[in-house]
Chains A and B, each alone.
Chain A
Amino acid sequence: MNEIVPIERIVAARQRLCELSELSPDPAKRKTQVREVMQFFSGFLDDLATLAKDSKQQKEAGCQDQGSFNILAETATDGIFSIDDQSTIRYANPAAGQMFGYELNEMVGKNLTSFMPERFRQIHVASLKRYITTYQKRINWRMVELVGLHKSGREFPIEISFGEDLRNGRHFFTGIVRDITERKRSEDALRASERRLVDIVDHTSALIFIKDLELRYLLINREYERLFDVQRHEILGKTDFDIHPHDVAETLRANDRRVIDADESAQFEEVVPSKGCAQHYIVIKFLLRDQANEPYAICGIATDITKLKRAQEALRLREAELAHITRVMSMGEITSSIAHEINQPLGAIVNYGSACLRLLKTKSADLTELTTALLAMVNDANRASVIIARLRALSKKAPPEMAALQISDVVTEILPLVRHELARGRIVLRTALPGDLPPVSGDRIQLQQVLLNLVINSTESMNKVPEDRRHLYIEAQPHVSEGKSFVLVTVTDSGLGLKAEDLPKLFESFYTTKAEGMGMGLAISRSIVEAHGGRLWATPNADLGATFQFTLPVQT
């Protein structure tokens, strides 16, 4: 039974007694009135009897419990105290004394207000008074955070829970108090750390987002808000499909899923439209894990590389221009060879034409003979036009065009352009160009430029050694490096070879050992090969000359 009940019941009982002084003149009604009052008092008296019995039992049990309570209170690490309805401390345990800086029992008899800062005292007194008269609680009594006042005058945060008991009609309150200075401090530190994190996240130029494993947004940083014109609270719980175009969202989701499925961080290049412009990002995505190391979210940090991309694009164009210039220059070096290759069929055409005319003049012209000559003329004209087409392709200024290429064909196509150059230098050419190599992905013209450059270099190098030792060998073969498939092209000559001191600078721009060279050929060649995902390198031969080799990744 609640201890508040008797007070309410006593008030009610007094009212009931008043009812009896105003009985109804109607006997039947009066009877009912009296019966109801009697019934009420009967119950009231029962309650009082029960209360008395309970009180007696409690008193007996209390005597036994007192010992246990004392042990509990003396050893508790939390402070325990009780006050009466005047806020005077009636009991305080050692932990409370220690907490507030008082000797044992020094606290007893003092008003509780002495243990709180001045500013709280009046509120406390008023609240207590109000509670006792109205039973109105202004605050929750469990785990209230308040400020304690140490004997030294130092304030410190405390957490208090209150309990109340009524003894001999008087209110007593028991408080369990805990010094939460440490907890406050770590909470503050945590808050500061969180604040710091938020500040960093919000002030970086990177886009940062966190999504749950269902890929719904949990958090985005300020840069994300700015760039995609969304607010943090709007985006929470939404997915990329709510923010970005469908195809973009599909890609983003696929990348997110890869990280989640593989359970490891990964880097992606993502293109996301923002305010009408395609933005390029390098995004590192990783999983956030809880205490049990279980992933619960995916976080992404994206760096805007749009400008870099544009710069790269501009650079690529510049490089293509430079490549074009050097290509035209290297064609200049083989002009005589090219002229010969065109002149030869032209000369043949003139000869055949003259022969035909003469045959026709004799009037005994043999049709078979004429047909043979005319067919040969057509063939020669075609041959000249093929050479011219190749020349035009090489001298054309066109952006790189990637296609699946059979490298042997690429090599074979430039051979007519240098054939005469080789013949003039008395260079013996041997080739090993299988037609069934795996295709590579590349720009035909750029790769021909590389080959042309290597062959011209070799030719020039061999023109300086005795004629009987001039050999050029061009080979293409499959090659595997670091588990990846490549096609390896080798150009070996028996020329002057490479000096050890030239080797490190060989591929630098404007480095040349030739009096008339610009020193761009090998630099451009290397950048072309590297742009194709391959490597170009040089090695001096053990006996004579040098070997240049380059790899191109096989198209997958």
Chain B
Amino acid sequence: MTTPETVVFVIDDDPSFRRSTAALIGSEGLNVQTFSSAEEFLRSRRPDVPACLVLDVRLPHLSGLDLQRELAKTGVQIPIIFMTGHGDIPMSVQAMKGGAVEFLSKPFREQDLLDAIHSAINFDRAARLQRARLADLRGRYHALTAREREVMAHVVTGMLNKQVADELGTTEKTIKVHRGHIMQKMGVKSFADLVRAAEKLGIFGRTS
């Protein structure tokens, strides 16, 4: 079995509604996995591909909102499209505050669901890419020596090599060598790229 490119998770305790939603999403050519409860979803091994979650708000035991909180707590980032039998405002507000991408009332227009799914998957794809880039940067940053990290923290503030050398009590030439290593290790071609990477890593303007 090959890993699918994308997947839509559907969680609804009503078997009929769950299956019909899966059939609808399937008819769009999307890959679907269904679950009858939040617990079942949490227990499952999910493919690491762009995905979204189509979730009924009122599930027995662990509700849709509970699952949203649980996922946020454990750092699982997946866009959620909520469904409700009859939308009530406090619940939808809570869901949207929790970061839901869409809140649909049953029965919904197919296009609304499919549009929401497509945009959620695209969002997830972008988010995943971003997370992957950040992870790469972090790895590179961690590969720097302590001295290199110290130099990097100073240069990204816009200080001249001479100023950095004075600050760290060394020569301008040594700083230049460190700078070359840093650019290479961080995989950036320009000083501007290095500053952006530092920004993403949250080490902008750090001084010891």
**B82 to A: closest C-beta gap in Å:** 14
List which A339-392 residues lie within 8 A (CB) of chain B.
339-340, 343-352, 354-356, 358-359, 362, 369, 372-373, 376, 379-380, 383
A49 at the interface (CB under 8 A from B): no
Q: Are A344 and B16 in contact (CB under 8 A)?
A: yes
Chain A neighbourhood of B148, CB < 8 A? none
A424 at the interface (CB under 8 A from B): yes
Chain B neighbourhood of A355, CB < 8 A? 20, 23-24, 26-27, 110
Q: Are A359 and B13 in contact (CB under 8 A)?
A: no
List which B38-94 residues lie within 8 A (CB) of chain A.
58-61, 85-86
Chain A neighbourhood of B61, CB < 8 A? 426
Q: Are A423 and B60 in contact (CB under 8 A)?
A: yes
A336 at the interface (CB under 8 A from B): yes
**Smallest Cβ-Cβ distance to B21: which chain A residue:** A351
**B105 to A: closest C-beta gap in Å:** 9
Chain B neighbourhood of A346, CB < 8 A? 106-107
Q: Are B28 and A348 in contact (CB under 8 A)?
A: no
B108 at the interface (CB under 8 A from A): yes
A535 at the interface (CB under 8 A from B): no
Chain A neighbourhood of B59, CB < 8 A? 423
Q: Are B58 and A352 in contact (CB under 8 A)?
A: no
Q: Are B16 and A420 in contact (CB under 8 A)?
A: no
**Smallest Cβ-Cβ distance to A335: which chain B residue:** B86
Q: What's the dominant secondary structure at chain B's contact region?
A: loop
Q: Are A343 and B20 in contact (CB under 8 A)?
A: no
**A15 to B: closest C-beta gap in Å:** 136
Q: Are A352 and B85 in contact (CB under 8 A)?
A: no
**A252 to B: closest C-beta gap in Å:** 62
From B23, B60, B108, give the contact of A347 (CB < 8 A): B108
Q: Are A343 and B58 in contact (CB under 8 A)?
A: no
CA distance A372 to B24 in the complex (A): 13
Q: Are B86 and A373 in contact (CB under 8 A)?
A: no
List which A285-342 residues lie within 8 A (CB) of chain B.
336, 339-340
Q: Are A351 and B17 in contact (CB under 8 A)?
A: yes
Q: Are A348 and B85 in contact (CB under 8 A)?
A: no
Q: Are B60 and A358 in contact (CB under 8 A)?
A: no
**Smallest Cβ-Cβ distance to A377: which chain B residue:** B20
From B13, B58, B110, give the contact of A351 (CB < 8 A): B110
Chain A neighbourhood of B86, CB < 8 A? 336, 339-340, 343
B193 at the interface (CB under 8 A from A): no
Query: Among A354, A358, A383, which residue has the most Cβ atoms of chain B within 10 A?
Result: A354
Chain A neighbourhood of B23, CB < 8 A? 351-352, 355, 369, 372-373, 376
Chain A neighbourhood of B17, CB < 8 A? 344-345, 347-348, 351
How many A-B residue pairs have C-beta atoms within 8 angstroms? Tell me.
84
**A339 to B: closest C-beta gap in Å:** 5
Chain A neighbourhood of B60, CB < 8 A? 423, 426
**Smallest Cβ-Cβ distance to A354: which chain B residue:** B110
Chain B neighbourhood of A372, CB < 8 A? 23
Q: Are B24 and A351 in contact (CB under 8 A)?
A: yes
**A377 to B: closest C-beta gap in Å:** 8
B136 at the interface (CB under 8 A from A): no
From B13, B24, B108, give the contact of A352 (CB < 8 A): B24
B140 at the interface (CB under 8 A from A): no
**Smallest Cβ-Cβ distance to A427: which chain B residue:** B60
CA distance A359 to B24 in the complex (A): 9
Chain A neighbourhood of B27, CB < 8 A? 354-356, 358-359, 362
Q: Are A358 and B106 in contact (CB under 8 A)?
A: no
List which B1-28 residues lie within 8 A (CB) of chain A.
13-14, 16-17, 19-21, 23-24, 26-28
Query: Among A344, A346, A347, A356, which residue has the most Cβ atoms of chain B within 10 A?
Result: A347
**Smallest Cβ-Cβ distance to B63: which chain A residue:** A426
Chain A neighbourhood of B24, CB < 8 A? 351-352, 354-355, 358
Q: Are A350 and B13 in contact (CB under 8 A)?
A: no
Q: Are B107 and A343 in contact (CB under 8 A)?
A: yes
| Residue-wise interface mask of A (377-416) relative to B, using a CB-CB cutoff of 8 A (1 in contact, 0 not) | 0011001000000000000000000000000000000000
From B26, B28, B85, give the contact of A344 (CB < 8 A): B85
**Smallest Cβ-Cβ distance to B59: which chain A residue:** A423
CA distance A197 to B26 in the complex (A): 95
**A357 to B: closest C-beta gap in Å:** 8
CA distance A61 to B61 in the complex (A): 127
CA distance A336 to B84 in the complex (A): 12
Chain B neighbourhood of A340, CB < 8 A? 58, 85-86
**Smallest Cβ-Cβ distance to A345: which chain B residue:** B16
List which A154-185 residues lie within 8 A (CB) of chain B.
none
**B186 to A: closest C-beta gap in Å:** 48
CA distance A50 to B86 in the complex (A): 136
Q: Are A339 and B19 in contact (CB under 8 A)?
A: no
**B55 to A: closest C-beta gap in Å:** 14
Contacts A336-B86, A340-B86, A424-B58; is A348 near B20 (CB within 8 Å)? yes
CA distance A369 to B22 in the complex (A): 12
CA distance A357 to B181 in the complex (A): 60
Can you name 30 A-B residue pairings with CB atoms under 8 Å? A339-B86, A343-B85, A343-B106, A343-B107, A344-B85, A344-B106, A345-B16, A346-B107, A347-B107, A347-B108, A348-B14, A348-B19, A348-B21, A349-B107, A350-B108, A351-B23, A352-B20, A354-B110, A355-B20, A355-B26, A355-B110, A362-B27, A372-B23, A373-B23, A376-B16, A376-B19, A379-B16, A383-B16, A420-B85, A424-B58
Which 10 residue pairs of A and B lie closest in terms of their CB atoms, listed nearest first?
A354-B110, A351-B20, A347-B106, A347-B107, A348-B20, A350-B107, A340-B85, A358-B27, A355-B27, A355-B23
What 19 additional pairs, Cβ within 8 angstroms, besides A349-B107, A355-B26, A376-B16?
A: A340-B58, A344-B14, A344-B16, A344-B85, A344-B106, A345-B17, A347-B17, A347-B106, A347-B107, A347-B108, A348-B16, A351-B23, A352-B23, A352-B24, A355-B110, A358-B27, A358-B110, A369-B23, A376-B23
Residues of B at under 8 Å CB distance from A?
Answer: 13-14, 16-17, 19-21, 23-24, 26-28, 58-61, 85-86, 106-108, 110
